[in-house]
Structure 1
Amino acid sequence: MTDDEATAGGLGSLTSISEGAGLFMIGRVISKGFGFVTNVVLTRYLGTNRYGIYTYLLVVFSLFTVFTRLGGDKSLLRFLPEYEDDTRKRYAMLTLAYVTSVAGSVVVAAGVYLGAPLISAYTLDDPLFADVLRITAIVIPFNTLSLLTFSAFKAIERMDYHVAVASVARPAIRLVFIGGAVALGYSLVGAAAGLIVSGILTLLVALVVLVRKTDLDSVVRPTRGDAEQYYDFSVPLTFTQLGSFLYNRIDLLMVGFLLTGSAVGVYNVAVIISRLLSLPLSGFNQLFPAVASRLYHDGNHDELESVYGTVTRLIFTLALFPAVAAFVYAPEILRVFGEGFVRGDRVLTLFVVAQLTNALVGPSGYLLMMSDHQYLTLANQLTSGVLNAVLNYVLILEYGFIGAALATATVLTAINLIRVGQVWYLEGFSPYDRTFAKPVVAGVVSGLVMYAFTVPFQRYVLLVVGGGFGAVGFLVTLYVLGIDDRDIELLRSVVE
């Protein structure tokens, strides 16, 4: 294949990837916007300690959800498309997913209610946390079934329904009932009650859309063969998802286990802000795996490497300016949530570096998986999860929540660099060329511009004025250096 042919084919593949990325990123921007406002309300009215208790509640629930789903969400992503032409089999797999999740979530919810004092004693050791756990245990089945329904939308390729319910309706409902309860003066108990109401309403909305707008509206009694096939796939996925939890959330869990609710609150705000930088990567990852699998198994390796490089460069470019802004203005950004959260500026700085590295390596993890290295991917996930847990324990005892950030940022950076190295060693693909220097130069220029505004301005004025001029400096520098035609084509496809 010639370079011109690879380029032409690559643009077609890039357009395919961008179709899902654009819709997904719109939904995530809306979701993050609602979430940001909700968190600002909670931090302002609850303070660091009670906000930390609320945050820790969500983290504990996310761990329990790994077991209540029992891999059901990923199973639907496989079996619903696989049996698109076999209606009975499709309904049987859907029935198994919901019945299993209902049974598992009811058992877990009962266990949380009965074991709330014990859970509190071994984590935050706060009577208020135990009370809130008991109050909100009822929402576990509703949250589990909502997540399962969201996966069903993705499995039948209805990203519009997924975005409408998961990214718009759910965060909007949470803002109204959780943020509203706290703003009205009901404090942490009000937030817990709002969490229950929002969980129930979200599931009702999701099920109404599923039943009325899709053909997934029937229940079929599964055969023994159906059950064996389903659980043979779903049960191992539970351990993979557990490894993912250790990799992504164990730091926050251990901060609560070893420190205080206030430390959890400060730490979580820094994590929330830094994860905004992963939005471009998450968006392009929606369809990149499918395109990568097709190109790889069709033997179009030159085109795949070209697509891999272009997507990685664009992800890095889109993440770079907000990363520089968060690095330069870390204290001012955290001050938006309240003065008590400013002490998390070093945590935010560490996570910004880690997330920027995540963007720099692009979809390397999915490329490994789609090129028949799924067991290596599993080993990467589990190894990094265990290492993250060990480092968190050691460094938290030594440095407090700064140690947690240092441990997690180190593991995140290391595993991403290892992944891109594995792709190069095993497949010979590298996403990097001289064009990566352009966004780097633009990032340096924008950083200097924003830093210059720290002298005459501060607080919100600094964020608006300095950030605005920094963005102009970034875009002008990119324009002067020249934007690649493939990047322009890809951005145009995303917008359209």
Structure 2
Amino acid sequence: MFLSGTAGGVFAVGVLVGSLVRLPLMAINQFVPPVAAALNDEGHGEALARLYHVTSRIVLVGVAALSIPVVVYRESVMALFGPTFVRYAPLLPGFVAAQFLACAAGSVGILLRMTDHQRALLVVNTAITLFLAVTAIPLTIEFGLAGLVASYLLMLGVNNGLEVAVLYRVEGLQPFTLAHGKPLVAALPFVLVALAARAALPGAAAAVVGTAVGLAAYAAVLWALGFSAAERRLVAVLVERYGAAFGRLRRRLGDA
């Protein structure tokens, strides 16, 4: 065995917390497939490219907002799972970075499938499986849990990079525009506010205050930088769709 039971539990918790950062991409992925497939079938390549740009930017906005407090207040986050996990808090940024890289290019895997390139996606997945087998075992043997986290980060980063390269090669689509820099710029004051709160306040209070004020600063900078009309429409659709779903769920719980 390469890992102890505790280390295995820490890895599971890290994957769980890191996966929460992925929620914006999961939300976008609920409606991208039919739209992308229709645009591809009708030959609207430019519209498909715009869809990819807009959705990947919105994903980046959400992922950055979720990633920053988790990384800055990693000790408080790990403390939620018990005192044993706190000592492993320095590894949590690795899990978050892995998911950040996995989300940075938006719905790239779905676009490969919706443009009828399932075989290329299968080749990428096979290559990543082999890459993981070659890297994960020696890294884990040599560095233990830290090595496994590093291999996890490498796997998701390389996988996403390969998918982006393949999609660009076969369809000429790529996710990034200059507007992708806006959430990165807005993230800077968020980070500064979060760090200042951590330095000035104890534990949970720092996490609550730093996250709330930091999110407000993040939103203010994004608003000042501006959103495109397409981005505003997409956000409105998401709010309407998930608001309606939440309302139905609440009514069902009330009737139970």
TM-score by length of 2: 0.90
State the partner residue of 2:194: 450
Alignment partner of 1:470 is 2:214: yes
Paired AA for residue 263 in structure 1 = A
Alignment partner of 1:351 is 2:100: no
State the partner residue of 1:278: 22
Alignment partner of 1:422 is 2:149: no
Contact 1:292 1:367 in 2 (8 A): yes
State the partner residue of 1:96: none
State the partner residue of 2:10: 266
Task: Give 5+ residue unaligned stretches, structure 1.
Answer: 1-256
State the partner residue of 1:295: 39
Using the TM superposition, give the Cα deviation of residue 286 of structure 1 relative to its aligned residue in structure 2, in angstroms: 2.2
State the partner residue of 2:132: 388
- 1:47-81 per-residue CA deviation (whole Å, 9 max, x = no partner) reads xxxxxxxxxxxxxxxxxxxxxxxxxxxxxxxxxxx
Contact 1:274 1:352 in 2 (8 A): yes
Using the TM superposition, give the Cα deviation of residue 343 of structure 1 relative to its aligned residue in structure 2, in angstroms: 2.4
- 1:383-438 per-residue CA deviation (whole Å, 9 max, x = no partner) reads 21232233221111111111111001111011101211221222111222121111
Secondary structure of 1:359 counterpart = helix
Matches within 5 A, 1:391-410: 391-410=135-154
Contact 1:267 1:347 in 2 (8 A): no
Contact 1:364 1:423 in 2 (8 A): yes
Matches within 5 A, 1:360-371: 360-371=104-115
Runs of 4+ in 1 over 4 A off after TM superposition: none
Task: Give 5+ residue unaligned stretches, structure 2.
Answer: 241-256
- 1:75-107 per-residue CA deviation (whole Å, 9 max, x = no partner) reads xxxxxxxxxxxxxxxxxxxxxxxxxxxxxxxxx
Using the TM superposition, give the Cα deviation of residue 267 of structure 1 relative to its aligned residue in structure 2, in angstroms: 1.6
Query: Aligned Cα RMSD in Å?
Result: 1.3
Using the TM superposition, give the Cα deviation of residue 486 of structure 1 relative to its aligned residue in structure 2, in angstroms: 1.5
Q: How many angstroms apart in 2 are the aligned matches of 1:274 and 1:344?
A: 14
- 1:216-248 per-residue CA deviation (whole Å, 9 max, x = no partner) reads xxxxxxxxxxxxxxxxxxxxxxxxxxxxxxxxx
Which entry has the higher C-alpha Rg, 1 or 2? 1
Alignment partner of 1:330 is 2:98: no
Q: How many angstroms apart in 1 are the aligned matches of 2:13 and 2:203?
A: 17
Using the TM superposition, give the Cα deviation of residue 440 of structure 1 relative to its aligned residue in structure 2, in angstroms: 0.7
Q: How many angstroms apart in 2 are the aligned matches of 1:290 and 1:382?
A: 26
Paired AA for residue 314 in structure 1 = I
Using the TM superposition, give the Cα deviation of residue 366 of structure 1 relative to its aligned residue in structure 2, in angstroms: 1.2
Matches within 5 A, 1:43-442: 257-442=1-186
Mean Cα displacement is larger for which, 333-342 or 401-410?
333-342
Paired AA for residue 67 in structure 2 = A
- 1:149-172 per-residue CA deviation (whole Å, 9 max, x = no partner) reads xxxxxxxxxxxxxxxxxxxxxxxx
Q: How many angstroms apart in 1 are the aligned matches of 2:134 and 2:33?
A: 31
Q: How many angstroms apart in 2 are the aligned matches of 1:284 and 1:307?
A: 11
Q: How many angstroms apart in 1 are the aligned matches of 2:130 and 2:165?
A: 21
Contact 2:91 2:146 in 1 (8 A): yes
Paired AA for residue 116 in structure 2 = D
Paired AA for residue 478 in structure 1 = L
State the partner residue of 1:90: none
Q: How many angstroms apart in 2 are the aligned matches of 1:488 and 1:344?
A: 40
Secondary structure of 2:155 counterpart = helix
Using the TM superposition, give the Cα deviation of residue 457 of structure 1 relative to its aligned residue in structure 2, in angstroms: 1.2
Sequence identity percentage: 30
Paired AA for residue 230 in structure 2 = R
TM-score by length of 1: 0.47
State the partner residue of 1:173: none
Using the TM superposition, give the Cα deviation of residue 357 of structure 1 relative to its aligned residue in structure 2, in angstroms: 1.4
Q: How many angstroms apart in 2 are the aligned matches of 1:430 and 1:377?
A: 16
What is the aligned length?
240
